Amino acid sequence: MKLRGIGHSRSGDKGTIANISLIAFDERDYPRLARHVTAARVKAQFADLVGGDVIRYELPAIGALNFVLHGMLGGGVTRTLALDAHGKSLSSALLEMEIPDDDC
C-alpha cells in the first residue's frame, strides 16, 4: 500500500534545505511508519532531487516523523529554475512510497 493510506504530510523549505513531515492519521500506526520509512528509504525516494544527507527526527508523542533533506538541487527557493521552487509538492511524492499492507 501507499503511505497515503495511513499518513499525511506537509513540506517546505529553508534555503537549500527541505523538510517533509510524515504524520500517522491514527497514532497506533506510528510504529509502522517508524519501521518502514527510514532516512535511507527517503533519500532513495528523492535521489533525483536531493544531493545531500537526509536526517530523520522522531516525534512519538504526536505520532510523527520529520525528514530534513539537505542539498536540494537547483540552489534553493530564490534561484532555482524548478517549477515548484519551494518544494511544497514533495509531501505528495513521499506519500507515494509503498509499504507492506499489514504487518501490525
Partner 1 sequence: MKTIRIGCGAGFSGDRIEPAVELATKGHLDYLVFECLAERTIALAQQAKARDPRNGYDPLLVERIESVLPACVERDVTIITNMGAANPVAAADVVKELARRLGCRGLSIATVTGDDVLDLVAGGDFAIAETGAPVATLRDRLVSANAYIGAEPIAHAVAGGADVVITGRAADPSLFVGPLAHELGWSMDDWPQLGRGTLVGHLLECAGQITGGYFADPGYKDVDNLSRLGFPIAEVPEQGPAVITKVAGSGGRVTPATCKEQLLYEIHDPAAYMTPDAIADFSQVRITEIDCDRVAVDGATGRPRPGLLKVSLGYRDGYIGEGQISYAGSGALGRARLAACVVQQRLSDLGVRPDDVRYDLIGVDALHGERLSGANREPYEVRVRVAARTQSIDAARRIGNEVEALYTNGPAGGGGAAKSTREVLSVASTFVPRALVSCTVSCEVI
Question: Rule CB under 8 A: is residue 42 a binding residue for partner 1?
Answer: no
Binding residues with partner 1: total (CB under 8 A):
41
Q: Which of 17, 31, 36, 38 binds partner 1 (CB under 8 A)?
A: 17
Helix intervals (H) in the chain:
30-36, 39-45, 90-94
Question: Rule CB under 8 A: is residue 56 a binding residue for partner 1?
Answer: no
| CA–CA gap between residue 61 and residue 72 (Å, rounded) | 29
Contact by Cβ (8 Å): 25, 8 = yes
Q: Fill in the per-residue mask, 58 to 97: x = in contact with partner 1 (CB under 8 A), - = not in contact.
A: -x-xxxx-x-x------xxxxx-xxxx----xx--x--x-
Joined together, the cell numbers standing for residue 52 give 545531500
Place of cell 544527507: 53
Q: Which of 3, 45, 54, 99 binds partner 1 (CB under 8 A)?
A: 45
Three-class secondary structure of residue 4 per DSSP: helix
Three-class secondary structure of residue 6 per DSSP: coil
**Binding residues for partner 1, per CB under 8 A?**
4, 8-10, 12-17, 19, 21, 23, 25, 45-49, 55, 57, 59, 61-64, 66, 68, 75-79, 81-84, 89-90, 93, 96
